């Protein structure tokens, strides 16, 4: 039997910057280092590109542009990880140069990598590893944001369900086990959407032996579907952010997969706290772990019930709708936006316009045209 450890998002920012630049790596990884080192193989998601300090300008996008220095790669190596996943929404934040620098840095450190490359062919390549006589195939992809590779440009491997079916089938024909690692989901929402659950179960139907997800900046639950574990969110592994202290942002878990050639994968969940009172990753002690176990059992029970999961998803979407509808309104000034969000200003979207928008987004043919038009305006 061999064991494979997989961790969530690593982004050395905030208080972590000083620690990694002064090479105080032991203070960052705390008491998880031993667990990582003792695993037969281990992976973490490098959530930001390695960028030289002279590169100031990121790509055109919405949302933050994340970056780190080569010291972050040294931290990953020090912690005991064997490789990194690169398919995430920030991999292309600093363009082709950032991708190139990142690939060079992880290669120089002797780390395996998957999910990102100088073109789509490289980014979508399956990583094969033979460990203790068991051949493992790793497939890594992410949802479509601003980081996606094309046939001729650098970036991350997209969550293309049709193409991933072929990729998983190919991996299954060569390897004993196929592990699919996805970067996706709703941020700070502790459940998968029904679409995510359907998609990840489909990956198992296609031949995946386990599916692991990260991205939401909080942990989610898990289930076993047709003998394959599906983890819907690991949470942050090491990601410091001031205004999220003492929240679900600061808790997560690593998953250890126990793998044999001829039996289903079993697993162990290893919960920790990260970057809360101190900028470190620390395994949960008895009291916190008890609360974690209780909470994740509740998440798992809802995930196992399709109707309950749909209800939780609908409630959450209802509570966040205005963050999306405000983008369709004529309000651009932040004071007007704030007033609209509080219900102090009206909506200018009538029913006919809403129906047209729904059609453009819902219909595959219209969506293709809409996306092409919008991208050409950037």
Compute the half-sphere exposure of residue 44: CA atoms within 13 Å on the CB side of its CA: 31
Give the H/E segment covering residue 282. Answer: strand 281-283
Task: Please determine, for residue 8, whether its predicted confidence score (pLDDT) is greater than 90.
Answer: yes
The region, left, alpha or beta by phi > 0 then psi within -120 to 50, assigned to residue 14 is: left
Q: How far is CA 306 from the centre of its chain?
A: 23
The region, left, alpha or beta by phi > 0 then psi within -120 to 50, assigned to residue 185 is: left
pLDDT of residue 184: 97
Q: Residue 280: how many CB atoms within 10 A of its CB?
A: 22
pLDDT of residue 354: 83
CA pair distance 292, 288, nearest whole angstrom: 6
Write down the pTM of the prediction.
0.95
Band of pLDDT at residue 340, cut at 50, 70 and 90 = confident
Pairing of strands 236-239, 228-231: unpaired
Is residue 24 within 8 A of residue 12, CB to CB? The reply is no
pLDDT single digits (tens) 186-198:
999 999 999 999 9
Integer-rounded Cα radius of gyration of the chain:
21
Is residue 180 within 8 A of residue 210, CB to CB? The reply is yes
> For the chain, what percent of residues have pLDDT higher than 70?
100
Q: Which residue has the higher pLDDT, 263 or 325?
A: 263
Band of pLDDT at residue 241, cut at 50, 70 and 90 = very high
pLDDT of residue 160: 97
CA pair distance 91, 144, nearest whole angstrom: 12
Strand partners, 179: 138, 210
pLDDT of residue 202: 98
Domains and CATH numbers, the chain: 2-304 (3.60.21.10), 323-376 (no CATH)
Is residue 183 within 8 A of residue 87, CB to CB? The reply is yes
């Amino acid at each position: 039997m061999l064991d494979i450890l997989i961790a969530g998002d690593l982004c050395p920012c905030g208080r972590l910057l000083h620690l990694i630049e002064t090479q105080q790596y032991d203070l960052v990884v705390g008491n998880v280092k031993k667990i990582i080192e003792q695993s037969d193989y281990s992976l973490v998601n490098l959530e930001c590109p390695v960028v030289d300090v002279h590169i100031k300008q990121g790509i055109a996008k919405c949302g933050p542009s994340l970056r780190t220095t080569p010291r972050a790669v040294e931290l990953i190596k020090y912690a005991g990880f064997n490789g990194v996943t690169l398919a995430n929404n920030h991999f292309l934040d600093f363009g082709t140069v950032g991708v190139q620098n990142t690939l060079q840095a992880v290669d120089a450190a002797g780390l395996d990598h998957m999910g990102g490359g100088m073109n789509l062919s490289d980014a979508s390549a399956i990583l094969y590893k033979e460990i203790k006589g068991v051949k493992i195939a790793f497939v890594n992809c992410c949802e479509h944001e601003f980081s996606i590779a094309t046939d001729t440009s650098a970036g991350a491997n997209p969550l293309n369900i049709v193409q991933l079916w072929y990729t998983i089938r190919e991996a299954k024909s060569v390897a004993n086990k196929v592990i699919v690692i996805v970067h996706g989901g709703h941020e700070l929402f502790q459940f998968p959407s029904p679409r995510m659950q359907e998609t990840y179960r489909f990956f198992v139907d296609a031949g995946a032996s386990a599916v692991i997800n990260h991205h939401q900046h909080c942990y989610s639950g898990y289930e076993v579907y047709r003998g394959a574990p599906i983890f819907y969110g690991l949470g942050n592994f090491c990601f410091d952010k001031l205004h999220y202290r003492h929240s679900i942002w600061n808790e997560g878990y690593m998953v250890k997969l126990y793998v044999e050639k001829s039996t289903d994968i079993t697993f162990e969940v290893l919960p920790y706290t990260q970057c809360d009172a101190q900028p470190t990753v620390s395994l949960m002690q008895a009291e916190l772990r008890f609360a974690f176990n209780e909470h994740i059992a509740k998440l798992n029970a809802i995930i196992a019930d399709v109707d309950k999961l749909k209800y939780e998803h609908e409630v959450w979407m209802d509570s966040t709708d205005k963050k999306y509808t405000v983008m369709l309104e004529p309000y651009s000034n932040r004071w007007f936006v704030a007033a609209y969000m509080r219900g102090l200003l009206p909506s200018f979207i009538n029913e006919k316009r809403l129906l047209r928008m729904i059609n453009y987004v819902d219909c595959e043919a219209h969506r293709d045209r809409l996306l092409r038009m919008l991208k050409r305006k950037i």
